[in-house]
């Protein structure tokens, strides 16, 4: 039996780990393509067909549409929204007593209040009609997702020449497929929330209160990109169907190009949906961006403090990672210790006066030393 060194054992373990991890991510891609259906990009609507689907009353078993209809149409949501609108208008008139607003703003508040009341009463039918229009447009633009998924499965090779490159591409495609399904699920949940709570937002938006109206109007307008989320993805998938499905499909020569084409589909669809989702829910995108920036800043602070001292770490924490890297590079290049205060230089504390050890006396002010 041949002796195996620790290097050979470690190399085999590393190869097995890379192969197993690649297989996991590749399974996410293949499962996602096999289950790639038009229902993933669908828009929730009540049961039924035609005009009855929009204007009719949802059946008792059609949840949550029946509960939304009972609450929004002549239910507690409509009553509370009209009450909020009335109180907002009265609050605006109360401010008019103290000569804070003009007569023109008072008349504008009255007119917008009537428009807001009409929208509160008719919101359910307006929202369902919007979703019905988006669903019809998506069906017209979206190709046969099942056929497209099977065509991409036939293109997908087992691996490319480089195992590490295969792992990276498989990870990108698998994670993109998972995040794509998660975003579409979050969209469906948010659509139900908007359909239920939009009358409150309309009441605040048309009440013309100074701060609340602007915030409520921005939240209400985010319903439009949220509803239209699958339309850009449908256009992108239509292009993939034109290029890679049918007799006029492109010929892919190498395994790398084949793998790249298959992986690029979920990545690009995720990018398009994420950009549209950033308009619908900018707070979520802002939180993720802030978290990433904070992690980068903490890493820069730790690295600058270790390399160039606390002054560079302070610079990185205050002005960002780039400033910290520049400060660290300057101190390393010109021999700074990085341990002094922010106003000190290499010639600070130079004086002929000194104590027993030649140090500067504590009472001496040294900010003007040469």
- Let me know: does 337 contact 331? Beta carbons within 8 Å: yes
- Let me know: does 251 contact 291? Beta carbons within 8 Å: no
Residues in the chain: 370
Quick count: other Cβ atoms within 10 Å of Cβ 93? 13
pLDDT in tens, the chain (370 residues): 456 566 666 777 777 787 788 788 888 888 777 777 777 888 888 887 777 788 888 888 888 898 898 888 878 888 899 898 888 878 777 766 665 556 666 677 777 788 888 999 989 999 999 999 998 888 888 888 888 888 887 777 766 677 788 888 888 888 888 888 888 888 889 999 999 999 999 988 888 777 888 888 888 888 888 888 888 888 888 888 888 776 656 777 777 888 888 888 888 988 888 888 777 666 555 554 554 455 445 444 444 444 555 555 555 555 565 655 555 555 555 555 444 444 444 444 444 444 455 555 555 566 666 6
pTM check: above 0.75: no
CA–CA dist 77, 81 (Å, integer): 6
Here the tokens at position 62 are 């059609």
CA–CA dist 45, 40 (Å, integer): 14
Helices (H) and strands (E) in the chain, counts: 14, 0
CA–CA dist 47, 57 (Å, integer): 10
CA–CA dist 330, 127 (Å, integer): 59
Residue 61, preceding peptide bond in cis (omega within 30° of 0): no
CA–CA dist 331, 284 (Å, integer): 39
Three-state DSSP state, 46: coil
- Let me know: does 44 contact 188? Beta carbons within 8 Å: yes
DSSP string, 232-263: HHHHHHHHHHHHHSSTTPPPP-SHHHHHHHHH
């Amino acid at each position: 039996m041949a002796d195996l060194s620790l290097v050979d054992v470690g190399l085999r373990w590393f190869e097995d780990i890379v192969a197993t991890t690649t297989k996991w991510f590749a399974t996410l891609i293949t499962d996602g393509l096999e289950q790639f259906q038009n229902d993933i990009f669908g828009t929730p609507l009540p049961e039924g067909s035609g005009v009855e689907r929009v204007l009719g009353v949802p059946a008792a078993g059609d949840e949550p549409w029946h509960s939304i209809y009972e609450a929004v149409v002549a239910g507690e949501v409509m009553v509370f929204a009209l009450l909020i609108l009335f109180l907002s208008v009265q609050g605006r008139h109360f401010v008019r007593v103290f000569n804070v607003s003009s007569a023109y703003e008072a008349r504008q508040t009255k007119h917008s209040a009537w428009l807001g009341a009409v929208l509160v009463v008719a919101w359910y039918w307006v929202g369902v009609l919007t979703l019905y229009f988006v669903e019809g447009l998506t069906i017209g633009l979206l190709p046969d997702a099942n056929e497209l998924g099977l065509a991409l499965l036939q293109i997908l090779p087992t691996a490319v020449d480089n195992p590490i490159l295969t792992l990276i591409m498989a990870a990108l495609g698998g994670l993109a497929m998972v995040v794509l399904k998660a975003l579409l699920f979050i969209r469906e949940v948010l659509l139900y929330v908007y359909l239920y709570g939009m009358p409150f937002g309309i009441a605040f938006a048309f009440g013309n209160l100074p701060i609340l109206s602007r915030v409520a109007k921005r939240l209400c307008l985010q319903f439009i990109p949220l509803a239209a989320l699958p339309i850009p993805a449908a256009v992108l998938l239509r292009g993939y169907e034109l290029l890679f499905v049918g007799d006029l499909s492109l010929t892919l020569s190498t395994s790398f190009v084949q793998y790249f084409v298959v992986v690029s589909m979920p990545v690009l669809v995720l990018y398009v949906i994420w950009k549209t989702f950033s308009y619908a829910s900018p707070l979520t995108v802002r939180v993720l961006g802030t978290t990433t920036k904070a992690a980068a800043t903490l890493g820069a602070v730790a690295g600058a403090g270790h390399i160039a001292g606390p002054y560079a770490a302070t610079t990185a924490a205050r002005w960002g990672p780039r400033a910290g890297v520049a400060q660290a590079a300057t101190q390393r290049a010109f021999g700074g210790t990085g341990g002094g205060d922010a106003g000190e230089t290499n010639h600070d504390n130079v004086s002929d006066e000194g104590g027993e050890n030649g140090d500067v006396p504590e009472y001496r002010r040294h900010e003007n030393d040469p």
